[in-house]
Structure formats: C-alpha cells, structure tokens
Chain A
Amino acid sequence: MIYQQQTASCLLPAVGKVIKQYLTVAISRRTVVAGMSHSRTLTELSEESGIPARTIRFYIAKGLLDGPVKAGRGAAYTTEHLARLEKIKGLQAEGKMLVEIVNVLNGGPPARETATPSPWWQHVIQEDVMVWVRGDVSPWRMKRIRSAVDAMAALLREPENNEARRNRK
C-alpha cells in the first residue's frame, strides 16, 4: 500500500505555525485519524515493529496490546501501538515472559512464575519424626537449628520411662 500523508501546513497554509504544532492530519487510503499520531494498518505495524502480524493479534488476544482504534475495514494502529510493541520487545529481551509483561504493562500482580528452587535438608531423627531445614540459611542460624534438632533427636532417643521420670520431676 502506498502511504500518503500530508501535514496541516499543506492543507491549511493560512492557519500558521500554532495549528501546525498541535494538529496533524494523516491521510491514507484507508483511514484518517485526527488529533492522534499517524495511523497504520496491521501489515504496516508489523513491518515497522518487525513483529509478525499473527504475533500482534496474539498479543492483542493476550491483553498485551489494545485492539485497533477502529474496527472493520478501517482498522488502524497508532504510534502508541508501535511504542507498546517496542516496550514488549524490550521486556522480552530482559527475560520476561508474556504473562509477566501483561502484568508489568497493566500494573497487575506478578505472574505466578515457577519458584526459584532452594535446597532443603531432611533430618530423620526417629522412624516417625522428620524435620525439614532450609539449606541456604545463614551459618549462625544453621548452627542454632542444628543444635535444636540434635537436642530434639536426643530427647526422642531417650527411653519413655526416663522421659516420664524427668517430667515428674
């Protein structure tokens, strides 16, 4: 498609610089959107952004991008759409998934991303007792936990009558 554009200064030469500054009229074969940045078709948006048209429709369906400013034959996309696509590309390059980007752009809660794993130690101190201890706590904390687990294990190892005797005391 041949894209034709004329500025306000061409159409209204007498109005002067002020109007030229605030009003841009974009004319294409398909649409005229006044008061907005110049419009483009989906194909043109795809070419400008380097993102395939199918992917753009997918983004719209996912809520990453608004639909065209007008439905039907005159469907048009604006500079804001282009800017949004650039932003999505940037966030993807930062390693974000689309589900995360939706929330970043729309200000929603973060995606339920797969949790970063952390090591855990399992401490079986009796046949029927097991203690789980997170493995990446600080050394001082680990020392404390370890002595508590040891104490608990020692307590559970004692014969029941010893325990009962101590309780009576």
Chain B
Amino acid sequence: MSTAASFSPLAAATGKALSLSMQRLWLTGQVLPAGARIVVQHVFRSEEEKPLEVIYAFPLPRDAALRRFRINGEGFEAHSELKETGAAVKTYEEGIARGSLSALVRQYGDGLVNLTIGNIRPKETVTVHLEILCGVELKDCGFRFRFPFTLAPAYHPRAKTALTEAGEGEMELPVDEFGDLILPRFREDPSALHQVGFELTTVSQLSLDEIGSPSHAVRVKQDGGRFARITLAPESDVPNRDLVVDVSFQSVEPQVLAGRDKAGKGRFAAIVPSSCFGVSSEEPRRVVILLDKSGSMQGAPILQARKAIEACLGTLSEADWFGLAAFNNQVQTFQPALVHGTRELRDQAHQFLMQVEAGGGTELAKGFLEAAKLLPGGGDIFVITDGQVSGTEKILADARAADVRLHCLGIGSASQDRFLALLARETGGVSRFVTPQERVDLPAVDLFNSVGRPVASGLKAGENVQPEPPSSVFSGTPVLLFGEADEAAGRQIELSWAGGSLNLPMDFSDSDIAETVWLLQGSRLITDWESRYPSLEALAPLEKRKQSRVASRLLELSQTYGLASREMSLVAVVTRSGDRAGDLPETRVVAVGLPQHTLFDAYFGRRVLSAMSVDRVSSVTSELSRLFGERPAFSLDSLRIDADIEQPRERGFTRFMRRRPAALPSQSAEDILLDLASRMDSDGGMPGRDSESRAIATIVALLAFLSQGHTAEEGVFRSHVARLVMFLKSLTGLSSQHRRTVDAVVELAREGKAPAGEWIALAHTSGNHWRKVEQAC
C-alpha cells in the first residue's frame, strides 16, 4: 500500500491549489452479507505557514452510520466522543478558540456529512480514521457493496451552481434546509486530487463464487472457501466514482450470523433468500412503469431504458394491468388509467416510448405522485431513474403518503444508492443500482419480474426482531433481519406469512460477530429514522426539536448504539503544548472530482447548451431515421428544443447529462433476447401467421433463452421463459410430428437445458425452422 500522497485543496478565496496536502482516502474493513464495517483513513498534511481548518464533505452509503474516529499525528493520538450535536459543535469551537487541534464529524440532511478538522499546524500531518457501519444491496445469490468516493451534484429546485474557475464549480443548497453544510468544490479533472484506494475482506457462511468490481480494477485473493481479500489493483485511483464490489455465493441458502456480546446477550443478523418463501403468484399485476427522462438520462441510459421497458411489457399477459409514465419537470402519461397488457396496447406503449426524449430536471415526487393516481386501489410503481435529487426526506414523506409500492432501478457512478434503497424499502418495494458501465436493460427486466407479484405477503417475525421485516417478499431479493435473543426466546428465528412459516436455527458460538451485527442493526435503525426527519424540523431550535418524536428517537438510538446521527455528532479536541489561543485558522474546502460520465459543463459551464443541443438533435435525428427509414427532411418545428429548459429555477440541472456512448453497441446475445422478450404476444407466444408458425417461432425463442442459461426459475428472463413454456403447453391443432417436437422442447425447458445449436442466431432470423429443431431434439 502506498503511503506517498499528493493532494491539493483549494484556497476558498482564490480557488488556487494550496500547498496543503491532504491526502489520501483509504478504505479498509470487512464486508459481510449483512453489512460492512469500514474504516476510512483520511490523511491531511499542511504545507502552510499558519494553522488550517479543512472541511471535507461526503455522502453516506446506504444504511450507514458513523461510529467513532481516531485522530493521530506525531506524538499524539485521541479518540472521538459522541455528543449531542449542539454540545459537539460547542466543544469543537472551544477547542479551536484555545488553539487546539479539533475535529468534528457532523451529519446533515440527505445523509451528507462534513468532516472538519481545525488547527492543523504548519508542516503537520494528521490522520483521521473514521469508522462507518453500512449496508449492502442484497440478492438471493450474493450482494453488492457500494462506497462513495465522490459526491454527485444533485437536483434541487432551489440549488445554485456557478463556475468559479476554469474546470471548477461550486454548488450551494438552501440554508433553511441544509443549515451550515459546506459542499465541496467540484473539479472536472480529478487527476490532481487526493488518491483513493481500498483493501477489504469479505467473509460469508456460504462458499463464495465470483468476486469482481464494475467500477475499479481489483485484485481478489480467495482462499477457495468463504473468505476473500479484495484490493485495488493499481497503487491508487482518483475520486471520481463509487467503489462497487460484487460478491456471489455458490448456493442460495439462509445465513444466520449470531454471537453473544460481552453481557452474554445473543445478537443476530439473518439473510433469508426469497426462494425460502415460495414462488410468485400468478395473480394479475397492477403496475405502472415510471421512466426518468431528465437530462441526466440522456444518451445510452434512455435508449437502454426504453428497450428494457419494452422487454418488461413482454412479461405482461392480457389479464395484467399496466400504466406508463415519464417525468422530468413535467409528467407525461401513456393513458389516463391502467390498461390491459394486450398486444395492441403494448404497441401503443411502444409508440409512446419512442417520443420520450431526455431533458429537464428530476421532479421525482411529482412523477410518482402522478403515477400513483393510476393506482387508486394501490399497486406497484417500477421507477427507472438515476435518483440524482436533493431534499430526499421530503420526497420520502411524499412517497409514504402515496400508498403505493415503489421499486427502484438506479443508474449512476456516484451514489444515490442510500436514497433509492430507502425509497423502495419505506414503501415496501425493492431496489437495484447499476453503474454506467453496466447495462440498464437486463437488471430492469430482472427487477420487473418480481414487481407486483410478491412471493410472500404479511411477513411477521418475533418481537426480538428489529426493525420489523418487510411486509412483502419479492423474488430475487432476500429478507434481512436483525435481532437479539436470550435463552427464553429460544435459539430460533421464527417467521410466518400468509400461507407459510419458517424457523431458522441460531448458533451463538461466534462471539466476535455479536458487536458487528449489533452495530449494523443500529445503523439501519438510525438510517430509517433519519429518513423520517425533515431537514426543516432537524434544523429547528433545540427547544422545538425536543418536542419532535423523530429527534427523541434518534437521540435514543444514537445513545443506545453509540452511533452518530443528525442529533449526535463526533468530536475530539487534542490539547498539546504550544497551542496558541485566539489564532484564526485558515479555512479550506476539499475539492472532489465530478463523477465519471458526468459532463462538467452541464452543471457549471457555458458550453453546455450547445453540447446538449447537439446530442438532443442527433437523438431526434436517429429517431426520425428509424421511423421513416431514411434521412428525414428537417423542418424547423421538428427540431425545436423543449422550452422547459428555460425555466430559471432549473439552472444547472435542466441541462446536466452524461458523456455516454450515443448508440448501443452492435447486437449481443442479450440484445437479441431483449428483442425477443419485447416481441412476445400477450398469450406468451411469439407472433406469427398461424399456430404452426407461432409454435416454431416460440420454440426457437425458448431454446435461445435456455441456451443462455435462462430457465423458468433462474435468470433475468425467467418470467419470459415460463410464459413461453405455458404457451407451448396450451397449443392445440398441431400435427402429431410437431406435437412431439413441442413436447420434447417443453421437457428440455423443464430440465433447464438447450440442445447444441445456434439458437440465438436462429431466433434472429425468420423462416421455417422445424427441421433444424427436430434434428437437434
């Protein structure tokens, strides 16, 4: 691991690089399926001639809370105290006034944190080791750990941005909502910024399968069993994207992490795969697909999202009800009410999608409130968004009141993971987050498969489980439980739901794990309550806050678990000889890199308009070319850019977009499968002239899915496979020879395998393929 570091914060007044070197930012710790226990090492170094105060802003990962920090340098080491925020700020300020080295870690709305360290002496190096507990994104077959190395500018109707120097921009959030939070400067070129890196371990009760990262080059050392070490492959990297690590298990089984704490109390965390609860019902679905068409979705994401939605619609039967809406500052709806999933209406939905263009801000609440109107009796909304919004507590309050389940597919290189995970969980849905390097369409189809059809409802756990488990369980997403147990409560976790129950045995022999699961439980509870704490309430005077139920609960949770929240902060003051009272330290704000794939000019620069126009127009061009099959004769009217980008309150955000490939790569096997999925008829078969041609088209499509590992139980296209099989079983009037072929293919589907053959290529071409199938089967 490198210890050499070069980092240049900027002078607040001039924006010029300072001789202060802060840093590197290095992540170490352990990632478990139930969450992660991380230590973030921040190295600050001053080359200045006077004392410095440095402010570093960062977002919390999902379900995260700050536990403590250790601060050290030459000849000293000190540990933080957890104090009520007002008292912590006072302690910090008193330390600064005395000339002592002081550090304060304080949380604000949206899970944003300011780490402030003051009175760093000239030529001094100070390191802050901050311990953070955080959650992971769970799947039945593994988990995804995500840690933010940067902070993305996010949409807020009252946020302001400005270009301060070439390649550097500033953003300010409203003081009445965010208090004295200080945001970093955003630098277009992150190469001169602090170095980042990581050295993590992971351990699981199940044997580990694959470990990788879509965000960073990693080196993985597995012991062949349940333990692995994951490190950054290069010596260091730049802070312009989240770290994302994927871990998959070799099997899908429940895991119970349990142990006894020092007082002898049993603590546990359990991960129960959705497959333990049964399979999805076949009841008709009531679902609205809500597409974020804000400027940040421009380029490949909106194209991929459109394709994904069409493939999602391919899973709907005529009995299902669906709606479709797209939002930026405004909401466009496909139909004023839910409609059946017939071929005709899906074709109309296709036409609706084709005219959806990305641009404008991200009024997410407006989007889902409008979508909720299509679901008067309740139902599910499937949201595809990058989630780049601020003021999330208000959005969450709106979402809870809407009385619908939100399922979120997030896209982005800097984390809004925390918010989207909360948005889904607080409304009873599930979420996934993908990086810009990954496909949007396949995870979208995968997630949509589970939407609207829970595998279990009315889930209940014993009183010793806290927080309460989700009411509904969805295919592919396990249930995570935290709790405590004593002898009286027995050594089992009891779960029951409508039509089923489950007992999971616990083994408390691993005492090392007890403290970690206890802290993870606390961080999860604090995150849940933080999300119910509107910023306006959180910033009220102390006397008023004391009346707040949320404030009282947060205070209690912070004290119980020893974790920070907006009500309690971490502070340390190091008294040393030579401290000089009264000296005013120079304040510096640490700059961060703009997230990868985010166009700097779109937020802060003047060039944005022309850049956006070119992309928008080229997008229109390609659409018209596609529709008319030739280069269109352009008219002025057809190329008019939406007037809504002129709204002054949206400055900065209406125009932000990402530099992504303008077109999708040439068709891969997944592209062809997506195309097949989107062409499926509402009865589950492929289209064709007559039943014979429909039968062979369906058989070839089914073999194409099977050849790529998608079965009726597993894989992104599991719903499509199940519907294709159902269609083949229902066919009547075939010749006896064709009937035998159909039966053979249905049997292959049941076994989950396909015979050797170029099924993908065959599915992509029209013609009579009976003979080829008969030869292969």
B309 interface hit (Cβ, 8 Å): no
Stretch binding the partner chain, chosen from B27-35, B568-576, B578-586: B578-586
Do the beta carbons of A121 and B584 come within 8 Å of each other?
Answer: no
Q: Does A58 reach chain B (CB closer than 8 Å)?
A: yes
Q: Which of A58-107 contact B (CB under 8 A)?
A: 58, 60-63, 67-68, 71-75, 92, 95, 97-100, 102
- Interface flags, A21-45, vs B, CB<8A=1, else 0: 0000000000000000000011100
Q: Please state if A120 and B636 are interface contacts (CB–CB under 8 Å).
A: no
- Cβ-based interface call for A116 (8 A): yes
Q: Is B582's CB under 8 angstroms from A74's CB? A: yes
- Any chain A CB within 8 A of the CB of B303? no
Partner of A133 from the list B163, B586, B636 (CB cut-off 8 Å) is B636
> For residue B585, which residues in chain A have a CB less than 8 angstroms away from its CB?
57
Tell me which residues across on chain A come within 8 A of B651, comparing CB atoms: 113-114, 116-117
| Interfacial chain B residues near A97, Cβ < 8 Å | 160, 162, 170, 172
User: In chain B, what residue has the closest Cβ to A115?
Assistant: B606
The reply to whether A61 and B13 contact each other, CB–CB distance below 8 Å, is yes
A158 to chain B, nearest CB (A): 16
B residues less than 8 Å from A73 (CB atoms)? 580-582
Q: In chain A, what residue has the closest Cβ to B159?
A: A97
- Cβ proximity bits A124-140 to B, threshold 8 Å, 1 near / 0 not: 11010000110110000
Q: Contact between B163 and A119 (Cβ–Cβ < 8 Å)?
A: no
A-B contact count (CB 8 A): 140
**A71 CB contact (under 8 Å) in B93, B584, B645, B655:** B584
Bits for B614-654, please: 1 = Cβ < 8 Å to A, else 0: 10010001000000000100101001111101101001101
A54 cross-chain contacts in B, Cβ below 8 A:
53, 55, 89, 92-93, 116, 180, 182, 587
With A and B bound together, what is the CA distance between A15 and B152 in angstroms? 64
Given contacts A111-B162, A114-B605, contact A121 B641 (CB under 8 A): yes
Q: Which residue of B lies closest to A96 (CB)?
A: B160
CA distance A39 to B534 in the complex (A): 37
Question: Is there contact, CB below 8 Å, between A117 and B646?
Answer: yes
Q: Is B250 an interface residue (CB 8 A)?
A: no
Question: In the bound complex, how far is the Cα of B171 from the Cα of A111, in angstroms?
Answer: 13
Question: A114, B163: Cβ atoms under 8 Å?
Answer: yes
Residues of A within 8 A of B634 (CB): 122-125
Partner of B97, one of A43, A111, A113: A43
Assess whether B335 is interfacial by the CB under 8 Å rule: no
CB closest chain-A residue, reference B604: A114
On whether the beta carbons of A57 and B636 are closer than 8 Å, the reply is no
Contact B160 A95 (CB under 8 A): yes
Residue of B nearest to A120 (CB): B613
Q: Is the CB of A99 within 8 A of B170?
A: yes
Residue from the list A57, A71, A100, A117 in contact with B582, Cβ < 8 A: A71
| Interface check B164, CB cutoff 8 A | yes
Whether a CB of chain B sits under 8 angstroms from the CB of A8 is no
Given contacts A42-B97, A117-B651, A135-B641, A100 and B646 within 8 Å (CB-CB): no
Q: Tell me how far the C-beta of A34 lies from the nearest C-beta in chain B, rounded to whole angstroms.
A: 20
In the complex, chain B residues 168-208 whose Cβ is within 8 Å of any chain A Cβ: 170, 172, 175, 180, 182
Distance between Cα atoms of A95 and B175 in the complex (Å): 11
Interface check A162, CB cutoff 8 A: no
Give the residue name and chain of the A residue nearest to B161 (CB): A114
For residue B610, CB closer than 8 A to chain A, the reply is: yes
Most buried by A among B12, B585, B604, B646: B12
Residues B180 and A67 in contact, CB atoms below 8 Å apart: no
Chain B residues positioned under 8 Å from A99 (CB to CB): 162, 164, 170
For B180, what are the chain A residues with a Cβ–Cβ distance below 8 Å? Answer: 51-52, 54-55
A74 vs B182: C-alpha distance when bound (angstroms) = 28
B603 at the interface (CB under 8 A from A): yes
Task: Write the nearest CB–CB distance from A85 to chain B, whole angstroms.
Answer: 13
- Answer whether A98 and B11 are a contact pair too, CB < 8 Å, given A67-B584, A120-B613, A146-B636: no
Residue B663 at the A interface, CB < 8 A?
Answer: no
Mask of B553-597 contacts with A, CB within 8 angstroms, 1/0: 000000000000000000000000000111111111100000000
- Contact A112 B163, beta carbon cutoff 8 Å: yes
Q: Give the chain A neighbours of B55 by CB distance below 8 A.
A: 54, 58
B162 touching A121, Cβ below 8 Å: no
For the complex formed, measure the closest distance between the CB of A145 and the CB atoms of chain B, giving whole angstroms.
9
Chain B residue numbers with a CB within 8 Å of A161 are: none
Contact A117 B609 (CB under 8 A): yes
* Most-contacted residue by chain A among B161, B164, B585 (CB, 10 A): B164
Question: Quick check: B164 and A112 within 8 Å, CB to CB?
Answer: yes
- Partner of B584 from the list A75, A114, A119, A136 (CB cut-off 8 Å) is A75
B648-A116 in contact (CB<8A): yes
Decide: A53 and B93 in contact? CB cutoff 8 A: yes
For the complex, give the distance between the alpha carbons of A95 and B651 in Å. Answer: 12
A117 contact from B89, B604, B639, B645, Cβ within 8 A: B645
Assembled-state Cα–Cα distance A145/B644 (Å): 23
Instruction: Render B353-386 as a binary contact track against A, CB cut-off 8 A, 1 for contact.
Output: 0000000000000000000000000000000000
Query: What separation, in Å, do the CA atoms of A146 and B621 have in the docked complex?
Result: 20
Give the docked Cα–Cα distance between A87 and B639 (Å): 45
Collect the chain B residues with CB atoms within 8 Å of residue A41's CB: 97
Given contacts A114-B604, A119-B643, contact A72 B582 (CB under 8 A): yes
Residue of B nearest to A124 (CB): B634
Closest to B614 in A: A122
A120 B609 Cβ-Cβ under 8 A = yes
Contact A115 B639 (CB under 8 A): no
Choose among A114, A122, A146 the residue that contacts B603 (Cβ–Cβ < 8 A): A114
Give, as a whole number of angstroms, the nearest-CB distance from A6 to chain B: 23
A124 to B624, CA, bound (A): 14
Given A67-B584, A111-B162; A119-B97 close (CB under 8 Å): no
B640 x A135 contact (CB < 8 A) = yes
Residues of A within 8 A of B582 (CB): 71-75
Kindly provide the distance from the CB of B643 to the nearest chain A CB, expressed in whole angstroms. Answer: 6
Q: Contact at A72–B580, with CB atoms within 8 Å?
A: yes
Taking the nearest CB of chain B, how far is it from the CB of A157, in angstroms? 11
Q: Which residue of A lies closest to B637 (CB)?
A: A121
Q: Which residues of B contact A43 (CB under 8 A)?
A: 93, 97
- The verdict on A4 contacting chain B, using a C-beta distance below 8 Å, is no
Question: What is the minimal beta-carbon distance from B539 to any residue of chain A, in angstroms?
Answer: 11
For A111, the chain B residues whose CB sits under 8 A away are: 162-164
Residues of A within 8 A of B13 (CB): 61-63, 102
Asked whether A167 is an interface residue with its Cβ less than 8 Å from the other chain, the reply is no
Q: Which residues of B contact A118 (CB under 8 A)?
A: 609, 646
Residues on B with beta carbons closer than 8 Å to the beta carbon of A71: 582-584
Q: How far is the CB of B624 from chain A (nearest CB, A)?
A: 11
Chain B residues lying within 8 Å of A136, measured Cβ to Cβ, are 646
CB nearest to A100 among chain B residues: B162
Question: B53: shortest Cβ distance to chain A, in Å?
Answer: 6
Complex-state Cα separation, A42 to B581, whole angstroms = 13
A133 to B640, CA, bound (A): 10
Contact of A122 among B172, B586, B613 (CB under 8 A): B613
Interface hub of A52, A58, A72, A74 (most chain B Cβ within 10 A):
A58
Cβ-defined partner of B652 (8 Å) among A98, A114, A121: A114
In angstroms, Cα B584 to Cα A42, docked, is 10
B617 touches A122 (CB 8 A): yes
Quick one: which of A53, A61, A68, A132 contacts B11, CB cutoff 8 A?
A61
Structural contact, B586 and A61, CB atoms closer than 8 A: yes
CA distance A112 to B164 in the complex (A): 6
Tell me which residues across on chain A come within 8 A of B641, comparing CB atoms: 119-121, 135
Q: What are some 13 contacts across the A-B interface (CB < 8 A)?
A: A51-B180, A54-B53, A54-B116, A61-B11, A61-B588, A97-B162, A112-B163, A114-B605, A114-B651, A117-B651, A120-B641, A122-B639, A123-B636
Other A-B pairs beyond A72-B583, A117-B608, 6, CB < 8 Å: A52-B89, A57-B584, A57-B587, A114-B651, A117-B645, A146-B636
8 smallest CB-CB distances across A and B, nearest first, come from: A73-B582, A61-B587, A61-B12, A63-B13, A112-B163, A119-B641, A62-B12, A52-B180
Please give the residue numbers on chain B whose beta carbons come within 8 Å of chain A beta carbons, in ascending order: 11-13, 53, 55, 89, 92-93, 96-97, 116, 160-164, 170, 172, 175, 180, 182, 580-589, 603-606, 608-610, 613-614, 617, 621, 631, 634, 636, 639-643, 645-646, 648, 651-652, 654-655
